């Protein structure tokens, strides 16, 4: 294996793919300016023989499906990348689809409301409201005032949301809320 190039973002990915003609691209799912799904579509429309391995901090079913639907040949959660990257590259070069263990688990558990719930359908309507307001940058007391509930209740909803979505940080919650369409409501 040989690394032929590296980009900090996907703004100039077409030019890089045209000049470097990579066999495999490791595509970060959450880049600035252009997201990994859109970049994957752009790459594969101009060079369909290139294999794309989606790397993401998110192990939710929505992100996995969106990446695979864009044409990616593999999906690896970043926490598993060090142990599974070589396997993924070998698999996609052999024409196979590769999902890391966490991604496979998420797809198998798709009907389970806990253990990796990954769509807003698994959140209560109140949790969706709290998630949307968190993603807008409101604090727990501000959300409590807006929804006429105690800040401590907001904290409970916040913990439940993080557990159901298997998300740890506010930044990840914000990204999730945006990608799931909650910010459009």
pLDDT single digits (tens) 18-43:
999 999 999 987 776 677 888 899 99
pLDDT at 183 over 70: no
Sign of the CA dihedral running 16, 98, 88, 177: positive
CATH 1.10.357.10, applies to 120-184: no
pLDDT at 12 over 90: no
* pLDDT of 121: 53
* pLDDT of 113: 42
Q: What percent of the chain has pLDDT over 90?
A: 38
pLDDT at 112 over 60: no
Summary mean pLDDT of the chain: 83
Please give the distance of CA 159 from its chain centroid, rounded to a whole number: 20
* pLDDT of 116: 38
* pLDDT of 101: 84
Give yes or no on whether 13-108 and 120-184 have one common fold: no
Enumerate the domain spans of the chain.
13-108, 120-184
Q: How confident is the model at residue 109 (pLDDT cuts 50, 70, 90)?
A: low
**What CATH number was assigned to the domain covering residues 13-108?**
3.40.50.2300
* pLDDT of 45: 94
Ranges 25-34, 76-85, 168-177, most confident? 76-85
- 78-115: buried (b, 16+ CB within 10 Å) or exposed (e) per residue? eebeeebbeebbebbeeeeebbbebbeebbeeeeeeee
* pLDDT of 118: 44
């Amino acid at each position: 294996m040989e690394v032929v190039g590296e980009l900090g973002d996907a703004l100039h990915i077409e030019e890089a793919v045209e000049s470097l003609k990579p066999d495999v691209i490791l595509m970060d799912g959450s880049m600035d300016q252009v997201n990994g799904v859109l970049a994957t579509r752009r790459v594969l429309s101009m060079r369909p023989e290139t294999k794309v391995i989606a790397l993401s901090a998110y192990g939710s079913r929505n992100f996995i499906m969106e990446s695979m639907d864009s044409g990616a040949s593999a999906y690896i959660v970043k926490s598993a990348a060090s142990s599974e990257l070589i396997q993924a590259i070998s698999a996609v070069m052999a024409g196979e689809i590769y999902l890391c263990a966490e991604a496979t688990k998420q797809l198998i558990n798709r009907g389970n409301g806990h253990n990796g719930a990954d769509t807003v359908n698994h959140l209560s309507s109140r949790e969706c409201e709290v998630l949307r307001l968190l993603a807008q940058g409101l604090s727990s007391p501000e959300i409590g005032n807006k929804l006429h509930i105690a800040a401590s209740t907001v904290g409970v909803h916040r913990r439940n949301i993080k557990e159901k979505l298997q998300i740890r940080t506010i930044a990840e919650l914000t990204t999730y809320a945006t990608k799931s369409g909650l910010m459009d409501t």
